[in-house]
Each structure stands twice: as structure tokens, then as C-alpha cells.
């Protein structure tokens, strides 16, 4: 029996402790977020896939693949073109809690 001070991990927390599962989740979640953001921005701007393709210079098939979460590796240029056409700016920001890389000492 667990004491009151021990925290019981949820199923999700247990799942996320496995580094391979966490990596897979992060990758899939990123695709999901991009899809949801794209759908919301298109809705907000009342813009169709065809019109977004015309304004961004990105093919309709790439836009459809993002919307349906099909495996698509898009370039930064593609993402930037889509976001600009929708009235957004892509900002790259350093992650604060990223594990610091170990420095190795060279032996002379």
C-alpha cells in the first residue's frame, strides 16, 4: 500500500516515462498541433485550401496532407509561407529546460 506522501502516477505519466514513447508522442503531438492551428487559422480567415495555396505558393496537396495529419515533412519555408498567408509570423524560441549537453574533456 502506498503512503500518502507517494504520488501515484497516472497512466499517461507512466507512458511518458518511457523515452521512446515520449519521443513518439512528441512527434505525433506536433503534427496534431500544426493541423489544429492550420484549421483554426483557415477558419478564422474564411480561406479555402485552394485560396491558401494561391496566396502562399504551397500546393493544395501539401496543405491537405497537413490538414489530415498524413506523414509530411514540410520545410521551414513552406511553414513560413502558410503562416504569412494566414497573417501569422513564425518565431523560433529557445527552450529553457532543455538538458544541457555534457562537455567532454580532451586529452592531450
pLDDT tens-digit series, residues 49-58: 999 999 999 9
Task: Report the percent of the chain where pLDDT is more than 70.
Answer: 83
Distance, CA of 59 to CA of 63 (rounded, Å): 7
Please say whether the beta carbons of 14 and 43 come within 8 A.
no
What tens digit of pLDDT does each residue of 18-31 get? 888 888 888 888 88
Distance CA 38, CA 25 (A): 20
Q: Is residue 80 scored above 60 in pLDDT? A: yes
Rounded to a whole number, what is the largest CA-CA distance in the chain?
A: 64
Number of neighbours of residue 56 by Cβ within 10 angstroms: 20
Domain coordinates in residue numbering, the chain: 47-90
- The DSSP secondary-structure symbol of 69 reads T
Amino acid at each position: 500500500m502506498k503512503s500518502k506522501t507517494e504520488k501515484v502516477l497516472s497512466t499517461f505519466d507512466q507512458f511518458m516515462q518511457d523515452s521512446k514513447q515520449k519521443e513518439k508522442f512528441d512527434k505525433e503531438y506536433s503534427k496534431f498541433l500544426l493541423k489544429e492551428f492550420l484549421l483554426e487559422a483557415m477558419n478564422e480567415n474564411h480561406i479555402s485550401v485552394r485560396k491558401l495555396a494561391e496566396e502562399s505558393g504551397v500546393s493544395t496537396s501539401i496543405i491537405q496532407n497537413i490538414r489530415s495529419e498524413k506523414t509530411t515533412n514540410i520545410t521551414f519555408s513552406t511553414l513560413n509561407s502558410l503562416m504569412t498567408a494566414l497573417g501569422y509570423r513564425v518565431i523560433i524560441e529557445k527552450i529553457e529546460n532543455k538538458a544541457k549537453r555534457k562537455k567532454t574533456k580532451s586529452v592531450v
